[in-house]
Structures are given as structure tokens and as C-alpha cells.
Amino acid sequence: MTMQSPAPDNRENFNLIFEMLQDEYPNAEPMLHFNNPLELMVATILSAQCTDKQVNKVTQVLFKKYPSVEDFANASLDELGKDIYTTGFYHQKAKHIIGSAQLILTEFDGKVPNTMEDLLKLPGVGRKTANIVLARGFDIIEGIAVDTHVTRLSQKLGFTRNSDPKKIEIDLMSLAEKKDLENLSMTLILHGRNVCIARRPKCGVCVVNELCPSSEA
């Protein structure tokens, strides 16, 4: 199996491509349902390798059963695992949620921290989750959440030649204004879900196909 070569450098077209995608997705809103930073953190942990639709289905019941950080901190690992079973990797996710809740109680006065440094101390919280919690839970833009969609589209559009999420984040932050980073992430995610699908990209109907170095149209 031959490795696909990286797309040519296309950073000069970033502003135009981003503008066109924003026109295509004017309401690029988060799909996860939450009411506070704690629920957002839990939902984001659950969303790894799982659809937002399924996470929302699970959290609709979960957040009623565990309404506070204390409830998650004192939860039974086996019981919480059963509660989130359908999101996949349930044992590890349950362990991370309980561990994070316990650390929030002991180290952060029972409140989800609002800095990148402190969020990264929580089990199961990487830069992607931390960026989401900061942006959507506290209106703090620290960086950009780089998931599989953002990674793939950034590479295909020629915005980065890196595969490491942290390096991709740095590359994207050098292209977009800080205030636009959350919107950029959501816009790329929506385009990845709807048009630039991994196994069958719909290049023929893509609004940026003439500017995309990976276009097959």
C-alpha cells in the first residue's frame, strides 16, 4: 500500500477558502448538548470515537443521574461504565470521568478549571478537549480543537503537512485570527461530515473544489 503524498502548500488561499466555507455553514454551532462546563467536559470525553448524536442520547439520561461533580466523583466505575456503554471505550471513559471529577473536587474547589494548564491535568483531557471546554464553556479562545476531521481537511486543503494534532494546531493558529479559531474548527468539522467525507469525498459538489489541491472533481 503506497502512502499518499501530502497536498501542496495552499496557505495562500486560506482566507478565501475559509470565507467560502463560512458562507456554506453560516451557523457552525456545536452539536453536543450541555448546560455547564462540567457537562461539556463529560460530553467531550464521551465523544471520542463516537457520534455527537449518540453522545447526546446518552447524556440526556446521564446528566439527570449525575447532576453534580460530586455525583461523578463518587460514581461506581462499573455502573458508570454501563451508563455510557454505547459510546464505546466505556471503561476508559468512565475511569477518566471519575478521575477528573475527583481531581476537580480536591484541586479546583469543585469547579472545572478555566485554563489550559489546569485542564490538561485532568485525566482524559487532552488539548482538543481542553480547547473545546475553554471556548464553549468559558468563551476563552486558547487554541483550536483538532479532531480527525480538522486534521484530514487541513491536510487535504494544503494548510499543513503535519500529522501531529499539536503541530496542526500551531499551523492553523498562524493562518486564522484568534477570535475565529473556534468557528474554523466547527466549520471544518461540518464540511468533513457533510462533503469532504473520508472514504468518499463529494468533490463534485464541494464549494472550494477549485481551490483545493486534493480535489478529484
Give the residue numbers of the binding site for [4Fe-4S] cluster: 196, 203, 206, 212
Smallest CA-to-CA distance from 43 within 25, 27, 57, 23 is with 57
Q: Which residues belong to the annotated binding site?
A: 196, 203, 206, 212
Cβ–Cβ under 8 Å, residues 84 and 58: yes
- Catalytic entry in 52, 71, 118, 147: 147
Amino acid making up residue 200: R
Provide the 8-state DSSP code for 12. G
Smallest CA-to-CA distance from 124 within 213, 44, 10, 197 is with 44
CA–centroid distance for 105 within its chain: 25
Q: Does residue 147 have an active-site annotation?
A: yes
| Cβ-based burial of 171 (10 A; exposed 0-12, middle 13-18, buried ≥19) | middle
> Which residues does the annotation mark as catalytic?
128, 147
